[in-house]
Amino acid sequence: MSVVDIRKRDGLARTGFFAYRGEKKAFPNALDMLEAFPSLRERALSHVPLAVDPEFVRTWHRRGEEEPFSLHPLTVSDIPHGSCVMVPGWHTALANPSAYVDWLVALKEQVPPDTLWYAPAAALPGTAAILLYSGFDLFDFTGTDLKSAQNLFCTSEGIFPGEWLEKGLCGCEGCQEGDLRLHNRKALQQELALGSQFIAGGNLRELVEARCRMDAHQVAILRNLDTRFGFLEPRSPIVRSIPFLANSGDALSRVEVKRFAERVITRYRPPAADVALLLPCSARKPYSLSRSHRKFHAVVGRRAHELMITSPLGLVPRELEHLYPAAHYDVPVTGYWDREELHWVSSVLAEYLRRHSYRRIIAHLEGGALTAAEMAAEQCGVPLECTCTGPTGSKESLEALDRALKGERRVPETALIRGILSWQFDVEIDLRGMRLRSRGPEIYVMQDKEQLFSLSPDTGLFTPTFAGWRLLGEGYRVQIDRFIPKGDILAPGVVSADDRIREGDEVFVTGEGVRATGRAAMGAAEMLSSARGVAVRVRKVLKG
């Protein structure tokens, strides 16, 4: 049986090592699979086509007695932890975007998350990124060798005539020697190595978006996969520390965007405020560091609850501007908002305004952001006051905003505590006696002389102390077996976990005679169904 050691995750994609029959190899990787798994030489009845009826699969499909075990979307397989599995015929799925996603979801939900995935004959330099994004780890050279036999030159941008080998487009060993087969293999290995680096950096999505533009099928696969929010969201980290590049309309469908907006609508508790002030976003993040928002801050003076209207996130309350991806996204600035952006942003704002009542709603906006706000106000049937007589940062517009806010009551400073805790933990706590204390970039929440939370400058999330956890109820708890953690907690030691936990969440660990705080290294579902791997990065342990 193989042993799988996952080191980095990026959604469905992973990097790590696996050992089989004493040999340790890295993944993702392209290998001579007959050498790595000799049993494949005599495998029978495991290559059942993907698009067949259930009766055919029941009659003919066999998973095999040795690894890699064969899977089919219509089977229910009993696969041991840490095994290697393969999906015969997956190269045919790439030409069927709708079925690709249906089959992928069915396959992934069959087996434990610590399974190694092999896609036979599917990998080319131009398909490697989408296969990695789909959660495949191992590949062979069947596809590239076939293209070589057909006198075709493979690159990450696509497949071209073999004569391109002589055009000086690549300086690999194969091109230098005039060996097309070697070039195609090298190109695949290079793309997998590049993908590994993007996975390790947590930004594989950006590579996939760049690569898929050369293939309509891959664009369709990506868009269809984005519709499976319930499948992808539990497998996606809650925070990252890297830029979020919203360079295409596909960003509106990304898990991070949908989750942020969903939590703003369903979890986030705004402060008690009479006035909602709709403001534009800024190129600099967090917004409060930008020149325009420093001007807004000087005028507003907490006399309104500030809500930023932005694409692709829709709506960012001021208290949440340090969270991922609000503090990390970047978009091409053209001044033009297309209909999809307007529909998405207005729908998020409209739903928010339906759930939270304000006496007044002021729009200090222009251009597409103002149009989105007007659409939302019309959907909700609420009046909108506009304060811009020109650019939002002009003297005239700022003076008009100041006049509109005259006499309005101030939003309490504890709004930051209420906002982040509600978005992060889905709770509302009694804020009486709490105050914010700053020391350099660090922000602390104090009650009397006791520290309850600290705000992480990297993630924008609160890190609770043991005293803070006492106020947060029973959510985001991980129960462990009968042992005292001596370091990080491994998945086999987890007995139960709140199903809302995602990779990167702050969690509270309980066990017999022990409590601990830490950060989840995997989501709750993976904690409970993995036989290996770190489940919680432990920060502090208390015995007794």
**What percent of the chain is modeled with pLDDT above 70?**
99
Take residue 55 and report the two structure tokens written for it: 């009766």
State which fold the 3-227 domain adopts. Answer: TIM Barrel (3.20.20)
Confidence class of residue 227 from pLDDT cuts 50, 70 and 90?
A: very high
Take residue 465 and report the two structure tokens written for it: 């102390």
Contacts of 412 (CB under 8 A, 6+ apart): 271, 272, 431
Query: Taking 90 as the threshold, does the pLDDT of residue 543 lie above it?
Result: no
pLDDT of 441 reads 74
Confidence class of residue 45 from pLDDT cuts 50, 70 and 90?
A: low
Q: Ramachandran region of residue 230, left (φ > 0), alpha (ψ -120 to 50) or beta?
A: alpha
CATH 2.60.90.10 fits 474-544, yes or no: no
pLDDT of 1 reads 63
Distance in angstroms (rounded) separating the CA atoms of residues 511 and 514: 5
State which fold the 244-404 domain adopts. Answer: Rossmann fold (3.40.50)
3-class state of residue 508 by DSSP: strand
pLDDT, the chain, mean? 94
Residue 244 phi, psi dihedral angles, 5° rounding: -105, 105
pLDDT of 145 reads 97
In the chain, CATH 3.20.20.105 sits at: 3-227
In the chain, CATH 3.40.50.10630 sits at: 244-404
Instruction: Output the pTM of the full model.
Output: 0.94
pLDDT of 22 reads 78
pLDDT of 15 reads 97
Contacts of 323 (CB under 8 A, 6+ apart): 239, 260, 420, 423, 459, 460, 461
| 221 or 532: which leads in pLDDT | 221
Express each pLDDT in 234-253 by its tens digit: 999 999 888 999 999 999 99
pLDDT of 21 reads 79
Residue 329 phi, psi dihedral angles, 5° rounding: -85, 155
Contacts of 311 (CB under 8 A, 6+ apart): 246, 252, 331, 337, 341, 344, 345, 368
Express each pLDDT in 462-490 by its tens digit: 999 999 999 999 999 999 999 999 899 99
In the chain, CATH 2.30.130.10 sits at: 474-544
| 76 or 17: which leads in pLDDT | 17
| 157 or 439: which leads in pLDDT | 157
Query: Taking 80 as the threshold, does the pLDDT of residue 2 lie above it?
Result: no
Distance in angstroms (rounded) separating the CA atoms of residues 84 and 172: 31
| 440 or 157: which leads in pLDDT | 157
Specify the DSSP element, H or E, that contains 308: strand 305-310
pLDDT of 76 reads 79
Mean pLDDT over 327-351 rounds to 94
pLDDT of 100 reads 97
Express each pLDDT in 270-320 by its tens digit: 999 999 999 999 999 999 999 999 999 999 999 999 999 999 999 999 999
* Contact by Cβ (8 Å): 204, 13: yes
3-class state of residue 453 by DSSP: strand
pLDDT of 273 reads 95
